[in-house]
Amino acid sequence: MKKICTLLFLVFLSVGLYAQSGNAVKEDILQKTNGEEMKGKVVKVTDTDVTFVYTGETAEYVFKKSEILRIVHASGRIELISPAGAPAQQRQNDAVTMSASPADHHNKIAVLPFTYLMDNQPGADAVGFKAQEDTYGFLSKNSAGYTILDPRTTNALLGKAGVTKDKMMNFTMKEICDVLGVEYVIDGAVTQNKGYQTSSTTETSNAKVKRDGDKDVKGISTYGNSSSNAVQRYDVSVSLHIYMDNNASIYNQSHKAFLSNTDGSYSSPLEYLLKRCPLYRK
């Protein structure tokens, strides 16, 4: 009887393990030419790209076929994609030097120097760099879970890759993300326009009484002065555009300061936009 019970226990245990293995979620595996393996779900395969979602995530990543050696599908089917050596030949023809593979971009952010316009004309670059620093500082405190590239490193990498301000429009956001090794790029602009002027005038006067002793008034003399002051006020607005490393635009908004100011400060509209962007976290 004891042997029969033991046998039945082993049978039930085997059936349970088999059921668990049969219900396990199977994954697709991307094997890259550099030996890296990525597990998840292959969403789409085109003539040039493979769209992939990591296990446990929802964001879609697009890889060039030249980077993929083969796909091991969850069904067990193996699909060969690129012969060995092809990526190196492909990268030699790239216009932009690749500093990281798309897999290394995950949850990384870079802030580009802002464009600065004064009365719709290009203004001082220093203001654009200051806005870049301010954006980095704000998100560093309010973007838990993300890695934010510091502005000095961002600007150095852009310069080495030839992505200068006057040539920025010649590069796609995907190419810029590849240069910086990030998933998200923030591109912004600060616009200041002269508004109305306020002026004020101040007048002062004094009177001096001349007396002869304590009785008779000999005369009164007066003197005074006046001054005027004019203050220029500015209307300020900020635009913010956020791109992903697949060229997708995920946020594009502008906001104007509610009140004009005398110093051209952009901090209020900038923080307003950052608090409402998808990268902001308390």
Q: For the chain, first and last CA: distance in Å?
A: 65
Parallel/antiparallel/unpaired status of strands 121-122 and 147-148: unpaired
Supply the pLDDT for residue 272: 94
Spans of the chain, pLDDT less than 70? 1-25, 82-103, 196-228, 230, 261-263
Supply the pLDDT for residue 19: 47
Supply the pLDDT for residue 171: 92
Measured on CA atoms in the order 117, 185, 141, 147, is the torsion positive or negative? negative
Q: Are 219 and 199 in contact (CB under 8 A)?
A: no
Supply the pLDDT for residue 232: 72
Supply the pLDDT for residue 251: 94
- Tens digits of residue pLDDT in 183-205: 999 999 999 888 766 666 666 66
- Tens digits of residue pLDDT in 61-99: 998 888 888 898 888 888 887 654 344 444 444 434 444
Secondary structure element (H or E) that encloses residue 206, with its range: strand 184-212
Supply the pLDDT for residue 221: 60
pTM over 0.75: no
What domains are there in the chain, each with its CATH number?
2-91 (2.30.30.100), 105-194+232-274 (3.40.50.10610)
Supply the pLDDT for residue 183: 93
Nearest to 265 by CA among 127, 135, 139: 127
Supply the pLDDT for residue 222: 61
